[in-house]
Amino acid sequence: MNAPAPLQRKPTTVWQMYRSIVGIGAFCALLIVSVYQGTAGRIADNRARFLGNAIEEVLPAAHSTVEVALDANGALVGAAEPADLPAYLAYGDNGELVGAVITARGMGYADNITVLYSYSFELKAIVGHKVLESKETPGLGDKVELEPHFLANFEALDARLNDDGTALANAIVTVKEGEKTEAWQLDGITGATITSDAIGAILNRASGFWLPALERDARDFRPPQSTEE
């Protein structure tokens, strides 16, 4: 102890307590608000850029995107506010519809995996995927982001709807490595069976949810105003 310990300290008055806590609280609040104000613009820019980069990775033709949602009747509408797992319609340089970009989540080996994937209306197929968040074992589970033969699945992964347009014609499934025979099958990864199976299941579920509505309504969908990137 540097200072000699006071044997009898003056009792703290209520006013002193009040003064210090309110004072510090006000000072802290002010500081946080000003830092928030100062950085909010850049943070929003960063977020948009991060999403833009991800979308560009899965769907290079996309120039601008509009977030969409399904209303109570299952019809496609513009999203009122950003969803946890958003889906976007993507438009090309001349404003033509080039595809849809969908976020989806499901259980992997270690934890939830969140993926972003793109659907092409022209090919009726999934044409790109990117893992946004995963805690899979490094060196095994993260092969779904790196392994060339697995990524080759996404050149055109068949996601055709059935004749009624209510569900996928063929469920998207992951098969054992080297045993892919159909266009809707994912060629799996030996040694990362659970993770590659999970990707198949995630894509299958999210596609079953989004694609019927997208196929039915997306071509007639008129965005309120298209957000330029």
Partner 1 sequence: MGKKQSNSTDEFVKGLWRDNPVFIQMLGLCPALAVSNTAINALAMGAATTFVLVMAGLSVSLLRNFIPREARIVSYICIIATFVTCVDYAIMAISIELHRALGAFIALIVVNCLILGRSEAFASKNRPALAVMDGLGMGAGFTAALFFIGVMREVLGSGTLFGVDLFPGGFQTWTVMVLPSGGFFAMAIWLLLVNRIRQYQAEAEKRAGEQEAAS
Partner 2 sequence: MARLSKLLEIGSSPHVTDGASTDVIMRNVFMALLPVTVFAVYAFGAGAALVIVAATASCVLTEHWLCRWTGQPSTVGDWSIAITGLLYGLTLPPDLPLWMVFAGGVFGVAIGKFLFGGLGMNAFNPALVGRAFLQAAFPQAMTHWQAPFAEGRFEHIPSSVLAMPFWEPAYDAVTTATPLALMKFEAEFAGGRELAAGLTSGSVGETCGVLILLGGVYLVARNMMNWRIPASIFATVAAVTWAFQLYDPATYPGPVFMLFSGGLMLGAVFMATDMVASPITNAGCWLYGALIGVLVVVIRFWGGMPEGVMYAILLANAVSPHIDNLIQPRVFGTGRGAG
In the complex, the residues that contact partner 1 under the rule CB under 8 A are: 1-3, 9, 12, 16-17, 19-21, 23-25, 28, 31-32, 35-36, 39, 42-43, 46-47, 49-50, 133, 137-140
Contact residues for 55 (Cβ-Cβ < 8 A; gap 6+): 62, 65, 88, 90, 101, 116, 118
Q: Which is nearer to partner 2, 109 or 184 (CB)?
A: 109
- What counts of helices (H) and strands (E) characterise the chain? 4, 9
Residues whose CB falls within 8 Å of the CB of residue 107, separated by 6 or more in sequence, listed in order = 113, 198
Select the binding partner of residue 193 from partner 2, partner 1, none (C-beta < 5 to 8 A, by kind).
partner 2
* Neighbouring-strand partners of residue 78: 68
List the alpha helices (DSSP H) in 165-228.
193-217
Residues 209 and 83: beta-carbon distance below 8 Å: no
Shorter beta-carbon distance to partner 2: residue 95 or 139 = 139
Among residues 69 and 194, whose Cβ is nearest to partner 2?
Answer: 194
Q: Which does 222 bind (CB under 5 to 8 A by kind): partner 2, partner 1, none?
A: none
Judged by DSSP in three states, 128 sits in strand
With residue 133 as reference, give the H or E element that holds it. strand 125-133
Q: Least distance (Å) from partner 2 to the CB of residue 140?
A: 5
Distance CA 99, CA 101 (A): 7
Residues 170-199 interacting with partner 2 (rule: CB under 8 A): 176, 191, 193-194, 197
Nearest residue (CB) to partner 2, 193 versus 226? 193
**Which parts of 113-172 interact with partner 2 (CB under 8 A)?**
137, 139-140
Q: Pick the binder of partner 2 from 91, 109, 117, 184 (CB under 8 A).
A: 109
Beta strands 87-91; 112-120: pairing state: unpaired
Instruction: Please state the closest distance from residue 132 (CB atom) to partner 2, in A.
Output: 21
Minimum distance of partner 1 from residue 95's CB (angstroms): 28
Which residues would be at the binding site for partner 2 (CB under 8 A)? 109-110, 137, 139-140, 176, 191, 193-194, 197
